Structure 1
């Protein structure tokens, strides 16, 4: 069951947003895909990761 996640472009903006910093190891291919999406949407890699995780966590089903 594959769902589409839509991300819109937005204007550049900087400032404190109240997020905590975490470190994650990722494959180069994943980072390349994020960078490509970042260019297309004018969003930072960090913002994209947060948007994608937020969308994904809502559709996760834990199997017992």
Structure 2
């Protein structure tokens, strides 16, 4: 996962220069609570990543660190 690392269970996002990404992605919409949207915007402004890039990073991290617990 480029641009991120994990330290003490914290997701560390390294800032980057503004650049457009490659194609090959799927597009879909999601609904977010306003507070979460505002938090993403704040992190986006600080790190220099778009909200879309951050959401992708967060989802990659979550998928890589997810465990399914059977009932």
Write the distance in 2 (CA, Å) between the matches of 1:16 and 1:29.
Answer: 30
User: With structure 1 as the length reference, what TM-score do the two structures score?
Assistant: 0.90
Write the distance in 1 (CA, Å) between the matches of 2:45 and 2:65.
Answer: 26
Q: Which stretches in structure 2 are left out of the alignment for 5+ residues?
A: 1-7
Write the distance in 1 (CA, Å) between the matches of 2:63 and 2:69.
Answer: 14
Aligned to 2:61: 55
Q: Cα RMSD (Å) of the superposition?
A: 1.4
Deviation at 1:14, TM superposition (A): 1.7
Which runs of structure 1 show a deviation greater than 2 angstroms over 4 or more consecutive aligned residues?
A: none
| Greater strand content | 2
Greater RCO, 1 or 2 (C-alpha within 8 Å, sep 6+): 1
User: With structure 2 as the length reference, what TM-score do the two structures score?
Assistant: 0.81
Deviation at 1:15, TM superposition (A): 4.5
Q: Which stretches in structure 1 are left out of the alignment for 5+ residues?
A: none
Q: Does 1:19 align with 2:32?
A: no
Write the distance in 1 (CA, Å) between the matches of 2:56 and 2:21.
Answer: 16
